[in-house]
Structure 1
Amino acid sequence: MRIGVVGVGGGGSALADALVADDAARADGYLAAAVALDTDAGALASLDGVAEDHRHLLGAVHVDGEGTAGDADLAAEIAREERPELRAAVDAVPVGSVDATLVCAALGGGTGAAVAPAVADLLDQLTGSPVYAVGVLPGTEEAGGDGGAVGVGDPARVKGGAGDGRGDEGAEADALDGPDRPLDSNAAGAVRALAAACDDLVLADLDVWRAAGAPYAAAWPRLDADVAARLGALFAAGEASDPVPERVLDASELGNTLGAGGVSVLGAAGTAVDNGRREGVVGGLLDRIAGADDPEVDEGEAVSAAANAARKAVTHRLSLACDPTSASRAAVVFHAPPAWLSRRGLERARGIVEDETGVPQIRWGDLPDPRADEFRVTVLLAGVTDCDRLDDLGDAIDPTRLG
């Protein structure tokens, strides 16, 4: 699936940056263009992958490049007043040559919560292709916050004073004297607005990536890289050409999966495998000169690797804790060295996903990669309706009424 990406706010822009990096690392790219929109000039300047001319500062008159400090009402005002600027910014996405557009946002901050739905609505009017969103829910113990504009390891993003979402003791202490920034309230409103504006909303919960008792700052880069890798596997599966997959999960199948309504959740897990490549710099050079032999793989080991990864992906490695059996549709991508993609192993892995979700006729594709060092399974669960985290967000959100 060929996509365009628009990152909104600090967290959304950082995730768009991670998608650029993921795309660059793959043999078959899926990313047509990436755009970043933010009210924080420092956060925009700290990006690595999004081209400078595709970074757009919003609300300079209102906030002078300092961000909205979690004020969703102010961000909504900026979005209304600067709609022509929003349209000019998203013009960088070649809507006529992409299969879909993805809007990324951290939903606890003001800019992500309020501007991302406006961007999604605008894209829906400009293109006939689907518009999807991926939203990051704030941590349940996060203090204040700009929804991820900070805490991603770059000092330029760790600014803004009280309650900036760092999740460490200093930020929490500062938040006591800072403005009231209702992260859950912002997120609850953004979930409803994005679900209404998009063809599908994929959610990730920051708490999934936070180690027990650790600062939230360390969780943000892990989430960015992991969510980008999961999305990248799904998008890249339809673009793979060498080696040729046994079965391609193309844009139409992925789009049909994402058209379930409600919210979607990503799962992924891997089992280490031998790819037959030599180790070290010299070994890699020899592989490139003389070629690398495919490893001899025992059928039983291939089946076991596929089954173990599939079970973990759908039960223990979800981007948002939910009941897998409440999903109405599912898609799976198997990424591994070609020798490990045995037909019996793939059948066993698909059977596990079917058993754990109750979804018949799982859509699937394989992504053979001679360089891979694990058998990795990526799962998309769409139309999820049973999720305690959504119920706990502000006024209880009923996932069955989203979309």
Structure 2
Amino acid sequence: MRIGVVGVGRAGNALTDALLADEDARGVEYVAEAVAIDTDAGDLNSLDRVDEQRRHLLGAVHTDGEGTAGDAKLAAEIVREERPELQAAVDAIPVGSVDATVVIAALGGGTGAGVAPAVVDLLTQLTGTPVYTVGILPGVAEVGGDGGATGVSDGPKRTDDAVAGDHADRPLSSNAAGAVRALSAASDDLLLADLDVWRASGAPYTPAWDRLDTDLTTRLGSLFAAGETDAPTPERILDASELHNTLGAGGVSAVGSASNAVENGRREGLVGGLLDRVTGADGPAVDEGEAVSVATNTTRKALTHRLSLPCDLTSASRAAVVFHAPPAWLSRRGLERARSLVEEETGVPEIRWGDYPDPTAEEFRVTVLVTGVDRADRLAALRPDEFDA
């Protein structure tokens, strides 16, 4: 799937930067254009991969370029006053040549909660292709001043922007509740990631942000890149239309992933790699039973281990799976068994799936997308009138 990406706020822009790095690492082009929007000049300047011409600072008159201090109402006011600048930012997305546009934001801070809904609104007016949002929910114990848990400071805040002064203890859940409501209504799909999934019990939040960046980027990259690779030829392609159909359930989605190390049998070095290409070597002979076992065990783990939004899987209405591994490990029987496992665990009657043969891979990775979720404890806490626990 070819996508345009719009990062909003510190965390959204960090993930946008990370997606560009993931694209480079895979050698598969799936990001057509990337834009960064923020109210903090320092955060914009810290980006490595988003083109400087695609970085847009909002609200400098109100904030002196130092962020909104967690004030979503101030961010919304900035949007109203600087709508032309926001329009110029989203105009950089080549909406006529992408399959979808993805807006990424942390929903607990002021910039993400206040600006992301306006970005989605503008994009839906510009394009007939879907607009999806990736939203990061703040940790339950995360507080505004330091990003730490229950007052435990762990360095610069990642939710969006530093909160200071009278708002140092501002709960982030109220921002997140409003943003979830607005984005689930405006977006074609809202994929959520709960920061607490990546936080060890009682630990500070900064390491959790780092783990979330790495894991979520890998999961999104696996989904978007799956339909863009054609060498070696996949058994089945999960293309843009199938992803659209999966995400077409609307509402809220979650993504899980897991991996197991496997032997790829590739020779190291320039000479070894050249010999592999000349001889057509595609890896070691793999026992069929072992391939089936790895596929099913990894899939089971992907459904239970660090799902981006812990939820009742049986409340999902649609699902899709990507299998990324060395070609020799992509046993048709193993993939079918794994797909059937997702069907059993979710109750979704038709699971869309695709494989991503990668001779350089050293692991068997499974990425599972579940959409139309309507039973999740975290959502019930944020929006008790709309979601079941």
TM-score range, shorter chain: over 0.9
Q: What is the alpha-carbon distance in structure 1 between the residues aligned to residue 25 and residue 142 of structure 2?
A: 32
CA 1:175 to 1:88, structure 2 compared with 1: closer, same or farther past 3 Å? Answer: closer
| Aligned counterpart, 2:152 | 169
Q: Deviations over 1:237-296 (max 9, x none)?
A: 111111111111111110010010220000101111101124xxxx22232232263111
**Counterpart check, 1:233 vs 2:218:** no
Please report the TM-score for the alignment, with normalisation by the length of structure 1.
0.90
Note if contact 2:147-2:153 (Cα within 8 Å) is conserved in structure 1. Answer: no
Letter aligned with residue 307 of structure 1: T
CA contact (8 A) 2:153 2:204 kept: no
Of 294, 305, 317, the residue aligned with 2:294 is 305
1:101 corresponding residue in structure 2: 101
The 3-state SS of whatever aligns with 1:169 is: coil
Q: Is the 8 A contact 1:277 1:284 kept in 2?
A: no
Q: Which residue of structure 1 lines up, in the alignment, with residue 158 of structure 2?
A: none
Identity, % of aligned positions = 70
Superposed displacement of residue 197, structure 1: 1.1
CA distance in 2, matches of 1:328, 1:36: 32
* Cα distance in 2, alignment partners of residues 261 and 170 from structure 1: 37
Deviation at 1:28, TM superposition (A): 1.8
For the residues of structure 1 that align with 2:69 and 2:385, how far apart are their CA atoms? 25
Aligned partners of 1:387 and 1:35: how far apart in 2?
31
The answer to whether the aligner puts 1:45 opposite 2:45 as a matched pair is yes
Counterparts of 1:171 and 1:345, CA distance in 2:
44
Match in the other structure for 1:150: none
1:336-361: per-residue Cα shift (whole Å, max 9, x none)?
00000001100110011011101011
Deviates more, 1:234-243 or 1:111-120: 234-243
Match of 2:112 in 1: 112
Change in 2 beyond 3 A, CA 1:30/1:399:
farther
Contact 1:258 1:382 in 2 (8 A): yes
How many residues align structurally? Answer: 376
**What residue ranges of structure 2 are gaps of 5+ in the alignment?**
156-161
2:200 corresponds to which of 211, 223, 229: 211
For each residue in 1:14-73, what CA deviation from the matched residue of structure 2 results, as whole angstroms up to 9, or x when unmatched?
111111111111132211011100000111111111111111111011101000000000
For 1:399 and 1:200, how far apart are their aligned partners in 2?
16
Look up the SS of the partner of 2:74 in the other structure.
helix
User: Is 1:19 aligned with 2:16?
Assistant: no
Task: Tell me: CA distance 1:256–1:109, structure 2 relative to 1, closer, same or farther (3 Å).
Answer: same
CA shift, 1:166, in A, is 4.4
- State yes or no: 1:286 paired with 2:271: yes
Structure 1 residue runs of 5 or longer lacking an equivalent are 145-162
- Give, as a single letter, the amino acid of the residue that structure 2 aligns with 1:136: I
What are the within-5 Å matches in structure 2 for residues 382-393 of structure 1? Answer: 382-393=371-382
Q: Is the 8 A contact 2:143 2:171 kept in 1?
A: no
**Whole-angstrom CA distance in 2 between matches of 1:345 and 1:203:** 29
| TM-score, normalising length: structure 2 | 0.93
Pairing partner for 1:396 from 377, 380, 384: 384
State the partner residue of 2:73.
73
Q: Note closer, same or farther for the CA distance 1:356–1:110 as it changes in structure 2 (3 Å cut).
A: same
2:85 match: 85
In structure 2, the residue matched to 1:221 is 210
For 2:42 and 2:163, the matched residues in 1 are separated by: 21
**Shift in Å, 1:397:** 5.2
Partner of 2:190: 201
Q: Is the 8 A contact 2:154 2:204 kept in 1?
A: no
Offset at residue 177 of structure 1 (A): 6.3
